[in-house]
Structure 1
């Protein structure tokens, strides 16, 4: 009887201990962003969470089909501390601690207080890096912290070089981890033991998909505005000859620019790049300076109506707009680099810019030539229609009363043509 009781008690103790171990291990949070195969886990000893200082544990796990995978502390690449993992070619993994400066390749920065611990290596076609960080002092061990992650598919690097060059990521994510939900009671490695279970409650916000959509929206809108809409609006005047068409088109492009600007502002606030990245700074300057372009356009129109020719304000409006349009297009290329855009998008953007540039130069050149020819033919041949002489300053025939004629702005926007009131 006593033996039976002892046996039952022994089983109960083992069962309780097993449940306790699983509960402890289950508190290490797990997250696989965008349903990718790259997953991350965190663990904070209870004593560290209580005192506010101590060791932090995290795990980086990804298939060997990934060339590299990285986990970083921070809300964006700029200024973040990155922990980069790739195969070393000997059945193990290389952990490279790096510092990010903008959207450039993270540079290796030695950190003696960061090390790989038991359980790390290559197993079952997965790279696993169990990492112990003893100097992650900027983290709130009992609250939420911002993290980023990135990964790249491709052939293994098979290198132990901590400064090995890496290619740009295929995917990325930014999220926050609540360490209050990632605590465990012991002070050892939380990723080894009889249980591999893990909880996911510590991930309370993921902004990867939202941020990606916003970045795409910002890029598309601004590319359309600067590479297409503004150039088309500029050549509408010599083509159509109606200032209201030109002004209306440019106003729509102008409003679209501010929509793109607002989206960019939200993105830069989210990733911490506001006022830091050259793309952001140049974008703010260009948009701000374009804010007065409609006023210059109106001043040009008023001057032209009064004097029937261009003045200093006219040339200021034209060249001011051209310069800012070019700067905006250049900044679009910087933005593609900042977003680590794929080569296909860079090529597409370059082709559109090239086509629009050629069209702009050809059309403006034709207008200049036509104007020069028109200045050599001051009299309008009455046998030809008015549409054939959009740039001729037509003189009044002898004896013709001026009030029987009306001035109309020609299609070049530079001269006036005297036309009969009657058809």
Structure 2
């Protein structure tokens, strides 16, 4: 026996799912029984999700559990289609615009367009989550020879900058002042989606006067009579937001996070006269109409920039300091040379990757920034450092003495190059619009400096102790002392061997003594030397 109860719940639903279920869902096939007093009231919008307060009667057999989320979601989608859920579209003029919708678990975008046959004006409305650094819509078959309209936040986080740009290939688009695009200031007074950022969402409406007859339209093959006019869209990577002096229409942009293409049925989006068109006649569509995705919507990653940064951090923060420690603590010259050579190779590869990344962005394709100039100088200094190390080592192996090249190699150029590399890495984070990584990088640099300096202190302490233990002992006395040596007594203390005996040689073996080398022989005649004279007896002492 079914029972009757009132259930009220607040749910959050994506606009995309809302649109799909509004179109395809049959409410009665989901909820059985008599439904009365059902309501779905919009209470706000959070980012790209809608908040609905749903109140309904649940008629289910007693004792049987029901999936409350599917019940409320189904009812909310179906009932909200006739409500003021988001008043983005004027139903009376819905036929004069086309709308593209796309979204997944992370994002949701809306693009509604209209063109006017009488004067060639193009009207565009676009919205997307403001968590992305920018949202762009373009016209063309790809980035090559495309026009793009890119929106990103002002410094106050509420207003929007619209940047009209052109693109020649798969690189950062270039701002074009000749492309007449401006944020519309003539929206209807009661427009529910004025320009700006609200509840974490971009809302932007702009107009391109006489675009259909412009040279840009010819470049991108814009055809108002085409049923499959090609459009593009892109979402910038989160957190890579321009700041400070970069915040203008020519602001630097990072590689997109999402990108894709869609086609628009332009005849379905055409108003015949100016009086029948304009933002007063259409709003943001809530359902896909007159548009369709082309190909796969892709999620992109800027791997080259990440690889450049990782290689440089690895070289200057890990490899080069490790080579210094190997030589300072253990005196392993060959290992030191091998580690530093590895660091040089990593830097060369990193510079090559950085050159490729630089070619993709307007701010770096001419190699005039401080980060790039300092990087080139560091690479030259590293090559000079490597050459000095090789020359010093070859001379030392040949002569066994340190050379004048040791001081520049070890005391001056080496530490200076490592320090400059670390500073330039920090500058590079800001140059790449990812300055927040310095919050992690700078403490790691300080830790590395502490370790290297600490190793030097420990080495000096150990060497000092060893030197102190050797004080008062002539160098090499351990090897010069004969067996049986007692400090403070004359040497030798043992009797000399007799004739025909043996004595311990320098090499450790026994040596047979000659007659004149014995004690007895010294009492007789000494050996003669062929010096042209005869030896004389010693004078008697008085």
Q: TM-score range by the shorter chain?
A: 0.5 to 0.7
Query: Which residue among 110, 131, 134 is the counterpart of 1:70?
Result: 134
1-side partners of 2:374 and 2:265: how far apart? 44
- 1:121 aligns with 194
Deviations along 1:272-299, one digit per CA (max 9) or x if unpaired, are 4231443233223323432343222111
Q: 1:215 to 1:302 in 2, by over 3 A?
A: same
- Residue 250 of structure 1 aligns with which residue? 340
The 2-side partners of 1:231 and 1:209 are apart by 35
Q: Distance in 1 between matches of 2:452 and 2:389?
A: 19
Structure 2 vs 1, CA of residues 214 and 183 (structure 1 numbering), >3 Å: closer, same or farther?
Answer: farther
Report matched runs for 1:162-177 at 5 Å.
Answer: 173=256
Q: 1:279: which partner in 2?
A: 371
Task: Give the secondary structure class of the aligned counterpart of 2:220.
Answer: coil
2:393 is aligned to: 301
**Distance verdict in 2 for CA 1:24–1:164, change over 3 Å:** closer
Alignment of 1:173-192 (within 5 A): 173=256, 181=263, 184-185=266-267, 186=270, 188=277, 192=283
Is the 1:222–1:257 Cα contact (8 Å) retained in structure 2? yes
Q: What is the rounded CA distance, in whole Å, between the counterparts of 2:331 and 2:182 in structure 1?
A: 68
The question of whether the paired residues in 1 share the 8 Å contact of 2:325 and 2:455 is answered with: yes
Deviation per residue, 1:39-83 (Å, 9 max, x gap)? 3637585989xxxx97665443235xx4786336999xxxx9853
- Per the TM alignment, residue 228 of structure 1 is displaced from its structure 2 partner at its CA by 1.4
Instruction: Find out whether 1:84 has 2:152 as its counterpart.
Output: yes
> 1:23 offset after TM fit, Å?
10
> What's 1:360 paired with?
452
CA distance, structure 2, for counterparts of residue 214 and residue 264 of structure 1: 8
Give the Å deviation of 1:337.
2.0
Matched, 1:231 2:321: yes
Q: Aligned-residue CA RMSD in angstroms?
A: 5.3
Secondary structure of the residue aligned to 2:288 is coil
Q: 1:321, 1:73 → 2: CA distance?
A: 50
In structure 2, relative to structure 1, the CA distance for the partners of 1:41 and 1:251 (3 Å cut) is farther
- Matched residue, 1:8: none
The question of 1:260 aligning with 2:350 is answered yes
Question: In the alignment, what sits opposite 2:220?
Answer: 141
Give 1:322's aligned residue: 415
**Residues paired across the two proteins, number:** 327
Q: Which stretches in structure 2 are left out of the alignment for 5+ residues? A: 1-90, 166-176, 223-229, 240-245, 272-276, 480-504, 508-542
Per-residue CA distance 1:313-346 (angstroms, 9 max, x = gap): 2222222222121111011111222334374x42
Matched with 2:19 is none
Higher mean displacement: 226-235 or 375-384: 375-384
1:86 Cα offset (Å): 7.8
Larger relative contact order, structure 1 or 2 (CA cutoff 8 Å, min sep 6): 1
Q: Which runs of 5+ in 1 are unaligned?
A: 1-17, 101-108, 154-162, 385-398, 402-423
CA contact (8 A) 2:110 2:127 kept: yes
Equivalent position to 1:221, from 292, 311, 334: 311
TM-score relative to the length of structure 2: 0.47
Equivalent in the alignment of 1:130: 205
Residue 137 to residue 371, structure 1, CA distance change in 2 (3 Å): farther
Alignment partner, residue 396 of structure 1: none
Distance 1:151 1:293, change over 3 A: closer
Shift of 1:368: 5.8
Q: TM-score, normalised by structure 1?
A: 0.58
Q: Distance in 2 between matches of 1:99 and 1:380?
A: 81
1:291 aligned to 383, 400, 417, which one? 383
Higher helix residue share: 1
Query: 1:339 aligns to what?
Result: 432
Cα distance in 2, alignment partners of residues 131 and 203 from structure 1: 27
Q: Which has the larger radius of gyration?
A: 2
